[in-house]
A and B are shown apart, each in its own frame.
Chain A
């Protein structure tokens, strides 16, 4: 039975229909991705059009004001820097140490170790506003730390960022081949020495990449800081981590609420500054990943 039915006109018509469907489906995929990117372009274009004119030296060095023409972003930026400093100082060491423990030393199969792992995975997916509630209940109402301060804001964001660092840290440590550990152990290093002298330095670029990404996320975060009252009107930049402060996303939020139309330009300008910072951080993360990416 030689199959010649493929030449039948009906079969050929069916084939043509199938190929048309194929083209439609592919076009649909292209439209989907183009729609998403067009939305992005529209958003960025809107912000640039409204905000670019507002960026000048006075804006970059000034602090908040009730007068839109005087208001600047530096006060909030300094608040962000202080807050991120606290976040980094807490979440990086704790995150790395926890990652080292879980990947290298934790006894396998123990109930409490599983709990730690489940906790970390779930914390990474808990809505950020919940961390704000935690910060409000524990840091402010129980520990009586100063409200609206970079200290409390940084601690709250550190709890949020730590799981991200632990997860990326574990992946980076996992990627270091066992042969490195074996080599260190074979010359008489203790397990702790093998990890701190050999494994950790090799895993560091990966950990740093994860840390930067976590910090970028923390830098853009607003909701948890609303909970702990970091929406102070800051006419002078905060002097230390216990002063009342605001952060850049919060400044954007506060300005967006202003009735005075002149603040539209300020809001968009602050958004541009924030986006540039975030892109620089993400760019740095990508650069680090590419530069130190090692195939074992």
Chain B
């Protein structure tokens, strides 16, 4: 069992798009060494909530967040919080693989370069190699680092995006349905990877697939209509849900 350490504490979070409330009073803990899964039907707010954790919702006009989200005890919506630093510490992997139209090497080197994490070329090479190894992609691409990242297969692209996120040594990695655009074999590889990564990082994964949540996560939060219906140890949620709605969703009665 890996060491568990509380990383993000979200308390009574409300999110509004203009006048419309998208998230209603959500409180969740996210810890290092643990994979936390957000499940729920489409439009339940799970992706919206995920984006509030590294303030990617800032890019959406008219979006407003209330309540408190603390990273290592520091409120990420406080005025002193630098969103650049926050996003470097809380990385994100998107639903559709989105490598930059640059070489594989440059995709991974992008983050360290803008944050100034590598002193010289050798450092950078080391960071790129380490990140690609951790993302399980090194052996496949080590001979063609100069090729375009967009030329890779979908599964490889997604692992490249994970490597890109890892390269800036984040503390948390948010994954927004990372396998929804992938075939089952690529999905299996990503799931293995998530299992390997959880030792070093706090991982949050939004997923449509309850099987995936059951396979990869240790904690699960079930979102419905903008609220968290149930949050707890994954095994409990799937085998012994406390709430009727959770049971209905898990047994496939809706969603």
A-to-B contact residues, CB < 8 Å: 1-3, 6, 11, 14-15, 18-19
Contact = CB atoms under 8 A, between A and B. Distances in A.
B116 interface: yes
A196 to B, nearest CB: 43
Given A15-B84, A15-B85, A3 B116 contact: no
B85 A2 contact: no
B11 interface: no
A6 B81 CA distance: 12
Contacts of A18: 84, 114
A3 B169 contact: yes
A6 B84 CA distance: 11
B244 interface: no
Interface in B109-126: 114-116
B245 interface: no
Nearest to A2: B171
B89 A19 contact: no
Nearest to B85: A6
Contacts of B127: none
A119 to B, nearest CB: 34
A3 B85 contact: no
B200 interface: yes
A163 B26 CA distance: 58
A6 B88 CA distance: 9
B82 interface: yes
Main secondary structure of the interface of A (DSSP, over half): helix
A15 to B, nearest CB: 6
Interface of B: 82, 84-85, 88-89, 114-116, 169-171, 200
Nearest to A6: B85
Contacts of A11: 116
A18 B115 CA distance: 9
20 contacts: A1-B169, A1-B200, A2-B171, A3-B89, A3-B169, A3-B170, A3-B171, A6-B85, A6-B88, A6-B89, A11-B116, A14-B115, A14-B116, A15-B82, A15-B84, A15-B85, A18-B84, A18-B114, A19-B82, A19-B84
Contacts of A19: 82, 84
B167 to A, nearest CB: 13
Contacts of B114: 18
Contacts of A15: 82, 84-85
A4 to B, nearest CB: 9
A2 B200 CA distance: 9
Contacts of B116: 11, 14
Nearest to A7: B85
A265 B156 CA distance: 70
A172 B114 CA distance: 45
B2 to A, nearest CB: 13
A70 B114 CA distance: 68
Contacts of B170: 3
Contacts of A2: 171
A44 B17 CA distance: 42
A1 B82 CA distance: 21
Contacts of B171: 2-3
A-B CB proximity, top 5 nearest: A14-B116, A3-B169, A6-B85, A3-B171, A15-B82
B214 to A, nearest CB: 29
A19 B89 CA distance: 17
